[in-house]
A and B are shown apart, each in its own frame.
Chain A
């Protein structure tokens, strides 16, 4: 589907991040590549959202480096996107919101309209096209954010708790969209609190605890027998603190 050269692998070396003198992310060394879906698990405050923002470049690490090593990384176009837990909706129509994102990506007048309609069409959201984006329901907003991301054809998609606060049917719709990204070759890296969702979607698990990446394992092995005691406790649903 994508002709342009890859931006992967993504390498984090010794990444740490401080806020107001407090170290919230510490010593992350990691190389991400390949097609598998990566799910970042961990309790609240483990630094999962910060991790995604550091990878995406919205935050600059206090220490260490975040580098995209692939041959496509030097190109100007942004090939990775982040969809936040509560995605920002512009004060425009659903279609206008997607068109705006495509405009920033440098598409021409006609191309961005065509691509925006195609994205809505792709996910059966054409009926929403002219609705003001901000009055959509939470589930519809999350789907719009994913359709907007899809229109931009990212190679890597970071998702921060995409189904937090959504009901089961909205969650199912969002997961179907995530599947579509995966099927079409986008590497998905997402955080979730929903262990069932992690089991459904994950190819690989990153487990974070108190700002550190303490376990990385294929999903099957992780859910079978996590190595780190904190990960085991997390899976059992212990409330250690």
Chain B
């Protein structure tokens, strides 16, 4: 019991000490996840909006597919990117396996369905409300996309934060694609897995505290965004 209490104290000290190795892990995690989210947003928002307003055969199947992919296990996303990036894979020559860039790709695959599906849902209901008005003003469906994305901004930000939460908490994808190499591809979650196994509880707990705070911060942000959105858009 005492051991655990001591571990908590050591972890708190580690978090407050600004240890360079510790900060490097936190920094890499944030860099990888934020980049992955940025990539997913850049693709997912316009693609989700198009899926919301376009009508073509197979659209329903795509909607279901992306909804299903929201629940894709991170290890499976990791495995898919691993196969793509491995030496014998189609992208093997790029040499991205076990690099942060490869990890970004794996996490982007995880986040994309979330951002895309939420964007699709938000834009679809906005389009139902706005279509007559926008068409009356001479807007094509394509021209409506930026309008709809902007007017859905509060809900979309919440969706993006959900994607960020999922990516920052997952361990499977970055473990497989990154390989948990110290000083190169070690993130908070993979470090916790490793250090817990080694019995280095202070480091694992310290990283766990940071992760928990991050999750809390994301949820506070999502709550505030929803609040502002409600006040401004009714």
Q: Which residues of A contact B (CB under 8 A)?
A: 56, 58, 78, 81-82, 84, 87-88, 90-92, 100-101, 104-105, 132, 134-135, 152
Q: Give Cα A128 to B218, complex, Å.
A: 34
Contact of B132 with A58 in the complex, beta carbons under 8 Å: yes
Decide if B233 is an interface residue (CB 8 Å cutoff). Answer: yes
Q: For A92, what are the chain B residues with a Cβ–Cβ distance below 8 Å?
A: 150-151
Partner of B135 from A58, A87, A134 at Cβ < 8 Å:
A58
Chain A min CB distance to B133 (Å): 4
Contact of A101 with B234 in the complex, beta carbons under 8 Å: no
Chain A min CB distance to B105 (Å): 34
Contact of B136 with A90 in the complex, beta carbons under 8 Å: no
Partner of B136 from A58, A91, A134 at Cβ < 8 Å:
A58
Decide if B138 is an interface residue (CB 8 Å cutoff). Answer: yes
> Which of B133, B143, B233, B234 has the most C-beta atoms of chain A within 10 angstroms of its own C-beta?
B133
Chain B min CB distance to A148 (Å): 9
Q: For A58, what are the chain B residues with a Cβ–Cβ distance below 8 Å?
A: 132, 135-136
Q: Give Cα A100 to B143, complex, Å.
A: 12
Decide if B147 is an interface residue (CB 8 Å cutoff). Answer: yes
Q: For B196, what are the chain A residues with a Cβ–Cβ distance below 8 Å?
A: none
Q: Give Cα A152 to B136, complex, Å.
A: 12
Contact of B234 with A82 in the complex, beta carbons under 8 Å: no
Q: For B143, what are the chain A residues with a Cβ–Cβ distance below 8 Å?
A: 104
Contact of A104 with B139 in the complex, beta carbons under 8 Å: yes
Q: For A100, what are the chain B residues with a Cβ–Cβ distance below 8 Å?
A: 147
Contact of A84 with B137 in the complex, beta carbons under 8 Å: no
Partner of A101 from B137, B150, B231 at Cβ < 8 Å:
B137
Partner of A78 from B134, B138, B153 at Cβ < 8 Å:
B138
Decide if B232 is an interface residue (CB 8 Å cutoff). Answer: yes
Contact of A82 with B136 in the complex, beta carbons under 8 Å: yes
Q: Give Cα A56 to B150, complex, Å.
A: 27
Chain A min CB distance to B149 (Å): 11
Q: Which 10 A-B pairs have the closest CB atoms?
A: A88-B133, A91-B233, A134-B234, A91-B151, A132-B232, A104-B137, A78-B138, A135-B234, A104-B139, A82-B136
Q: Give Cα A81 to B132, complex, Å.
A: 12
Partner of A56 from B134, B136, B231 at Cβ < 8 Å:
B136
Q: Give Cα A78 to B134, complex, Å.
A: 12
Contact of B137 with A90 in the complex, beta carbons under 8 Å: no
B233, closest chain A residue (CB): A91
Chain B min CB distance to A133 (Å): 9
B121-140 interface code vs A (CB 8 A; 1 in, 0 out): 00000000110111111110
Q: For B138, what are the chain A residues with a Cβ–Cβ distance below 8 Å?
A: 78, 104-105
Q: For B136, what are the chain A residues with a Cβ–Cβ distance below 8 Å?
A: 56, 58, 81-82
Contact of B135 with A88 in the complex, beta carbons under 8 Å: no
Q: For B154, what are the chain A residues with a Cβ–Cβ distance below 8 Å?
A: 91
Chain B min CB distance to A100 (Å): 7
Contact of B132 with A88 in the complex, beta carbons under 8 Å: yes
Q: Give Cα A233 to B231, complex, Å.
A: 48
Chain B min CB distance to A118 (Å): 18
Given A84-B133, A92-B151, 7 more pairs with CB closer than 8 A: A58-B132, A78-B138, A91-B233, A104-B134, A104-B137, A132-B234, A134-B234
Given A58-B135, A58-B136, A78-B137: A88 and B129 within 8 A (CB)? yes
Contact of A105 with B132 in the complex, beta carbons under 8 Å: no
Contact of B232 with A88 in the complex, beta carbons under 8 Å: no
Q: For A88, what are the chain B residues with a Cβ–Cβ distance below 8 Å?
A: 129-130, 132-133
A56, closest chain B residue (CB): B136
Q: Give Cα A120 to B143, complex, Å.
A: 26
Given A78-B138, A104-B137, A132-B234: A90 and B132 within 8 A (CB)? no
Q: Give Cα A91 to B149, complex, Å.
A: 11
Q: List 10 A-B contacts (CB under 8 A).
A: A58-B136, A88-B132, A88-B133, A91-B152, A92-B150, A101-B137, A132-B231, A132-B233, A134-B233, A134-B234
Q: For A132, what are the chain B residues with a Cβ–Cβ distance below 8 Å?
A: 231-234
